[in-house]
């Protein structure tokens, strides 16, 4: 079972990326095969339909990770009530072939108390890509972000019980769907 996390911030010390790393480390502790693609570390060129079959290394790596994944986690800062531009740009390189039938967990970090607008926008995009929105989402907001702004060891897991619960529900859903697919194909 493979999970890919697409971290959608273009900021070096982004709280949404710190949260993405905590989710990554929590899954690794549970022996889940997980990859994190960080759009700050690996910026992608602007998507153009005229050049959709780009040979850009980062684009091809992201498309491969999405294709191989059984489940996908999208993390974003909330910008003007929506997802970040860099995340939307990355998702424009994806299509239904990467998302169909796969559970997707949406995660956001907002200046306000909750980032519901960006989460709803993410879920709309997932629906249009024919992914399966996980029953819960993770919203980091307001003063909660302080714990992700401090310098913490690289493999630290900083997740409150709600975030852990949302992650557990997502991983369980990925496992259930994967097991059903294995049963059908055997
Ligand atoms: C361009 C821009 C737009 C923003 N718009 C919103 C917004 O609509 N709602 C909100 O709650 N916070 C907004 N914020 C604050 C960010 O959501 C907040 O700082 C968030 O924690 C950033 O995530 P990051 O730490 O992953 O970069 C905005 C910040 C920027 C830079």
Q: What is the pLDDT of residues 105-163, one digit of tens each?
A: 999 999 999 999 999 999 999 999 999 999 999 999 999 999 999 887 878 899 999 99
Residues 6+ apart with CB under 8 A from 81: 117, 118, 121
Q: Give the pLDDT band (50/70/90) at residue 176.
A: very high
Minimum-distance ligand 1 atom for the alpha carbon of 75: 26
Cβ(38) – ligand 1 distance below 6 Å: no
Cβ(111) – ligand 1 distance below 6 Å: yes
Cβ(43) – ligand 1 distance below 6 Å: no
CA of 109 to the centre of ligand 1 (A): 7
Classified as helix, coil or strand, 78 is: coil
Residue 113 is predicted with a pLDDT of 93
Is the confidence at residue 180, as pLDDT, over 90? yes
Query: Which protein residue's CA is at the shortest distance from atom 3 of ligand 1?
Result: 79
Residue 134 is predicted with a pLDDT of 98
Three-state DSSP string of 90-156: HHHCCCHHHHCCCEEEEEEEECCCCCHHHHHHHHHHHHHCCCEECCCCEEEEHHHHHHHHCCCCCCC
The first and second tokens of residue 49, run together, are: 């339909």
Is the confidence at residue 4, as pLDDT, over 80? yes
Lowest mean pLDDT among 25-29, 103-107, 175-179, 182-186: 182-186
pTM, rounded to two decimals = 0.97
Q: Check if the beta carbon of residue 82 is closer than 8 Å to that of residue 117.
A: yes
Q: Which of 110, 118, 138 for a ligand 1 pocket mutation test, highest count of atoms within 8 Å of Cβ?
A: 110
Task: Write the pLDDT tens digit of every residue in 42-92.
Answer: 999 999 999 877 789 999 999 999 999 999 999 999 999 999 999 999 999
Q: Check if the beta carbon of residue 107 is closer than 8 Å to that of residue 164.
A: no
Cβ(108) – ligand 1 distance below 6 Å: no
Q: Which of 10, 77, 88 for a ligand 1 pocket mutation test, highest count of atoms within 8 Å of Cβ?
A: 77
Q: Give the pLDDT band (50/70/90) at residue 6.
A: very high
Cβ(16) – ligand 1 distance below 6 Å: yes
Residues 6+ apart with CB under 8 A from 180: none
């Amino acid at each position: 079972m493979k999970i890919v996390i697409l971290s959608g911030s273009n900021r070096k010390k982004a709280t949404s990326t710190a949260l993405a790393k905590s989710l990554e480390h929590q899954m690794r502790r549970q022996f889940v095969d997980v990859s994190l693609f960080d759009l700050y570390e690996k910026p992608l060129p602007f998507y153009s339909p005229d050049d959709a079959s780009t040979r850009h290394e980062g684009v091809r790596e992201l498309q491969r990770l999405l294709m191989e994944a059984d489940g996908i986690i999208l993390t974003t800062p909330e910008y003007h009530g929506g997802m970040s531009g860099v995340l939307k740009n990355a998702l424009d390189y994806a299509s239904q072939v990467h998302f169909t039938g796969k559970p997707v967990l949406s995660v956001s970090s907002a200046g306000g108390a909750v980032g519901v607008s960006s989460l709803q926008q993410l879920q709309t995009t997932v629906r249009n890509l024919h992914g399966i929105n996980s029953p819960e989402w993770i919203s980091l907001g307001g003063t909660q972000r302080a714990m992700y702004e401090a310098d913490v060891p690289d493999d630290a897991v900083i997740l409150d019980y709600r975030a852990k619960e949302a992650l557990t529900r997502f991983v369980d859903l990925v496992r259930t769907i994967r097991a059903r697919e294995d049963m059908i194909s055997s």
